[in-house]
Amino acid sequence: MQTEIIIAGFGGQGILFAGQLIAYAAMDAGKNVTWIPSYGPEMRGGTANCTVIVADEEIGAPTVRNPKAAMVFNLPSFDKYEPLVASGGVLIVNKSLVDRSFDRDDLAVVMVPAIEIAESLGEKKLINMVMLGALLERLPVLSIEEIEKTLAKHLPERHKHLLPLNSKALTEGAVFARKALAEVA
């Protein structure tokens, strides 16, 4: 089993960190992983994306053409990656910054008001954790518990006080995705 994920948005939205977190959690779970970041020269506000492949077997190539899933944080990323997600795949969209509907009916799409959810938790920087929670609810490649363990293990000591808030953001994203699925059914 191999799962390809693309995470894309603006620099400063936690795109690369979310990808690293998936990669570390998968490694901690004994899986094979690749993580490839790509970003513009700007510190914040430029483009940023990464690809993560999680597999039970050896990964043949780290390139991804049609990922099983994409988490897109802004409109340019939505426009670029929506057509590329494999049929039957998962598309998690930051509805806070994407002002149009999706065009495809062959994907499981969750439009998450990630900024509003993060702000309700008291920290706008948690949008990546909200989005990741929604992704894991729809694409169970890893559990939220595995991500939480990895956060506790790999988060720098100076940020350990944020662990409960990160866990809450993951849970809120998953709850939102679960409710969105129930509304569609």
110-120, pLDDT tens digit by residue? Answer: 999 999 999 99
Q: 2-184: which CATH architecture?
A: 3-Layer(aba) Sandwich (3.40)
Pick from 117, 112, 121: which is nearest to 181 by CA? 112
Where are the extended beta strands (E) located within the chain?
A: 2-10, 32-39, 47-55, 69-72, 90-94, 108-112
Task: Match 């993060």 to its residue by tokens.
Answer: 118
Whole-number Å distance between alpha carbons of 152 and 85? 31
> Cα(first)–Cα(last) distance of the chain, in Å?
27
Distance, in Å, from the CA atom of 65 to the CA atom of 27, rounded to the nearest integer, reads 23
> Order of strands, edge to edge, in the sheet holding 90-94?
32-39, 47-55, 2-10, 69-72, 90-94, 108-112
Q: What is the mean pLDDT of residues 40-69?
A: 85
More confident residue, 154 or 144: 144
Mean residue pLDDT of the chain comes to 91
pLDDT of the residue at 185: 41
Rounded CA separation 90/95 (Å): 15
Q: Which residues of 75-104 are buried (b: 16+ CB within 10 A; e: fewer)?
A: eebbebbbeebbeebbbbbbbbbbeeeeee
Contact call for residues 145 and 112 (beta carbons, < 8 A):
no
The kind and range of the H/E element at 179 are helix 163-184
Query: Is pLDDT of 80 > 90?
Result: yes
User: What is the structure's pLDDT at 87?
Assistant: 96
Report pTM: 0.92
Q: Where are the domains of the chain?
A: 2-184
Give the mean model confidence (pLDDT) for residues 43-67: 86
